[in-house]
């Protein structure tokens, strides 16, 4: 009824549906809310009522309906919500999406609507945050309703707010708006801003809007690296200076390599190599002699990025470093440069190969290999994506991705608590932290180094609090659920369907069910840094947080967390499936089983029981998530 009634005149009988919004059955309540909204004679009043619902799921259902098919009458109820107090994250995201859809619904009025929305959001601080987020979308994309200059002007109250949260949101919005006015605003605000996480966003916007290639551009970022009092700002500056042939970057990065905060120094060493400048070789060679292993290891990675004949002999020399992480990084660097993955950590073997092949070896630019990107594109088999990749699994008590990797014959190695420092981690690897992810103090520094020099870390469930929070605090953390342990099955939704991380994870028409086994739900502390990819109104309503997966950059690397397990999903844990037909329907509706495979399986006996069906029709959504993460690493798109 809701679908049929979209865009049509209201029905006098529609208010009878309001009674069903109080039905005992959850599915009936949601369907009734959607139908009532579409059929109501007073659309604005109905939407206002639904947006005031105590049920968070119904609020989300109403906002989703507006996003899909907005009407003129939706404007005022939406504005009242956006100008009001904070909402749960899942409601916030849907309210912003609904507002964007309402503004764009009538192209002739889009500019005036966009102005009206932004002007209305003048206070409190949460309204200014929403203003900044919407200003960015109203001035970007195809045929935006606002010109860049006007969007920047309307962003001014956010940039000048007394609360740091709107300022940080506005700082990020500037790079999405784009243009000279946005750049001027970012440069002007940076000199006044005294909060570190807002300055990080201003620096990112300046770099995004004009780059670092010209001497004056690099000099501005170099000044932040040398003088900013916040180490996170200095680290981002060091990372952003690591671009090929950036003029003037080498002296600044050489100074950055002496930063008192070791992770800033390591970022500078890696970026020295990424510049590709001949002048970067000397400070990197000096770094190989540093007393701290973190710096020696980062210098090794910098040499790997330089990728030329002069780095081979120094890297061979580092194979004998006393710290396993440094020695293994040197081996990974030689494998990357030479392509000779069959040669182990024997310096004599490498020197013999170099003596025989050095004069004729072709050094390929890592960044310019189009074929490399095609090789790991979205159409290749999973086995090819993982071929030759060093996959390191942190074994633990709760989750076991290693079992799935074994079943798929994907090579990997394992480590465990208190042994990470001896595992020989290097940033060309992928590290997967199984739940529970309970690392020890001795594991923190090598894992932090791994990520911040370019490694990719994927965590599941408890790894959020037991691994990720310890490596890079103050970005995401475990949400403290009021009722304690989270044991539930919830519907999941893609927040960013266009994200490369989610390709193939959420097929059209499929509603994934996340089985939460004591899950640590995600609380986002720095929304300008962390991006939520997957959420769930079900989880938000029942447990207080609906953030199911999020990622963020950490130094040169990336961290991604998902609350579900790899091996406790799908038919293995689905509740109430009584027969073959119900199991098959579940696999199609919630696991994305395609019809061709389903038809071919009709005569198979494994559908008779859930355990047998689970073994033959596994839920690979979590694995696809990890595979996209691996693909992102291999094509270097972060």
- DSSP string over 509-558: T---EEEEES---EEES-TTT-EEEEE-HHHHHHHS--EEEEEEEETTEE
How does DSSP assign 137-175, residue by residue?
A: HHTSSSS-SS-HHHHHHHHHHHHT-SSHHHHHHHHHHHH
The predicted pLDDT at position 376 comes to 64
The predicted pLDDT at position 370 comes to 39
The predicted pLDDT at position 300 comes to 99
Q: For the chain, which residues score pLDDT lower than 50?
A: 370
Chain segment 531-590, per-residue pLDDT in tens = 999 999 999 999 999 999 999 999 999 999 999 988 788 998 999 999 999 999 999 999
- Over 171-197, what HEC string results? HHHHHHHCCHHHHHHHHHHHCCCCCHH
Q: How far apart are CA 396 and CA 314, in angstroms?
A: 37
- The partner residues of 487 in beta bridges, in order of sequence, read 517
Q: Sketch out the chain's domains with CATH numbers.
A: 211-368 (1.25.10.10), 380-568+621-635 (3.40.50.880), 575-613 (no CATH)
The predicted pLDDT at position 367 comes to 62
CB contact at 8 A, 337 and 304? yes
Q: How far apart are CA 417 and CA 136, in angstroms?
A: 43
The predicted pLDDT at position 637 comes to 58
Cα-to-chain-centroid distance, residue 409: 27
């Amino acid at each position: 009824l809701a679908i049929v009634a979209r865009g049509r005149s209201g029905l006098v009988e529609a208010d009878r549906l309001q009674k069903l919004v109080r039905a005992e059955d959850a599915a009936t309540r949601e369907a009734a809310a959607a139908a009532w909204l579409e059929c109501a004679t007073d659309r604005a009043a109905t939407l206002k009522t639904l947006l005031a619902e105590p049920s968070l799921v119904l609020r989300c259902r109403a906002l989703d309906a507006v996003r899909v098919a907005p009407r003129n009458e939706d404007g005022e109820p939406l504005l009242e919500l956006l100008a009001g107090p904070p909402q749960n994250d899942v409601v916030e995201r849907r309210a912003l999406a609904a507002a964007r859809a309402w503004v764009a619904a009538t192209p002739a009025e889009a500019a005036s609507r966009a102005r009206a929305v932004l002007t209305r959001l003048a206070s409190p601080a949460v309204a200014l945050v929403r203003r900044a987020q919407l200003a960015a979308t109203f001035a970007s994309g195809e045929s935006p309703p606002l010109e860049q200059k006007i969007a920047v002007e309307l962003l001014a109250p956010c940039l000048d707010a007394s609360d740091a949260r709107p300022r940080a949101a506005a700082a990020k919005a500037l790079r999405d708006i784009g243009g000279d006015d946005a750049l001027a605003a970012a440069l002007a605000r940076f000199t006044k801003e005294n909060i570190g996480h807002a300055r990080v966003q201003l620096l990112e916007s300046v770099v995004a809007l004009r780059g670092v290639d010209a001497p004056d551009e690099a000099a501005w970022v170099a000044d932040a690296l040398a003088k900013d009092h916040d180490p996170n700002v200095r680290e981002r500056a060091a990372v952003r200076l690591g671009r090929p042939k950036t003029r003037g970057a080498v002296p600044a990065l050489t100074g950055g390599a002496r930063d008192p905060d070791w992770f800033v120094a390591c970022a500078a060493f890696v970026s020295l190599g990424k510049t590709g400048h001949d002048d970067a070789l000397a400070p990197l060679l000096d770094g190989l002699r540093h007393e701290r292993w973190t710096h020696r290891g980062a210098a090794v990675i910098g040499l790997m990025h330089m990728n030329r004949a002069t780095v081979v002999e120094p890297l061979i020399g580092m194979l004998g470093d006393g710290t396993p992480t440094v020695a293994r990084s040197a081996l990974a660097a030689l494998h990357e440069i030479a392509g000779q993955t069959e040669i182990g950590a024997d310096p004599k073997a490498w020197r013999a190969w170099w003596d025989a092949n050095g004069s004729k070896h072709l050094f390929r630019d890592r960044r310019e290999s189009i074929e490399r990107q095609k090789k790991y594109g979205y159409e290749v088999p999973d086995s090819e994506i993982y071929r030759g990749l060093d996959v390191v699994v942190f074994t633990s008590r709760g989750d076991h991705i290693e079992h799935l990797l074994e079943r798929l014959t994907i090579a990997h190695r394992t480590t465990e608590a208190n042994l990470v420092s001896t595992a020989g981690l290097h940033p060309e690897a992928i590290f997967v932290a199984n739940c529970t992810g309970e690392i020890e103090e001795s594991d923190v520094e090598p894992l932090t180094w791994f990520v911040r020099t370019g490694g990719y870390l994927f965590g599941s469930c408890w790894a959020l609090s037991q691994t990720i929070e310890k490596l890079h605090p103050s970005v995401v953390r475990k949400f403290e659920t009021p009722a304690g342990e989270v044991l539930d099955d919830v519907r999941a939704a893609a927040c960013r369907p266009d994200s490369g991380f989610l390709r193939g994870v959420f097929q059209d028409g499929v509603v994934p069910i996340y089985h939460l086994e004591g899950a640590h739900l995600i609380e986002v502390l720095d929304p300008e840094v962390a991006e939520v990819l997957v959420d769930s109104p079900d989880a938000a309503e029942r447990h207080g947080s609906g953030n199911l997966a999020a990622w963020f950059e950490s130094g040169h690397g990336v961290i991604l967390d998902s609350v579900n397990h790899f091996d406790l999903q799908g038919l293995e844990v689905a509740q109430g499936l009584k027969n073959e037909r119900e199991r098959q329907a579940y696999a199609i509706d919630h696991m994305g089983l395609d019809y061709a495979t389903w038809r071919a399986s009709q005569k198979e006996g494994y559908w008779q029981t859930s355990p047998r069906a689970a073994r033959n029709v596994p839920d690979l959504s979590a694995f696809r998530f990890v595979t996209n993460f691996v693909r992102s690493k291999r094509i270097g798109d972060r």
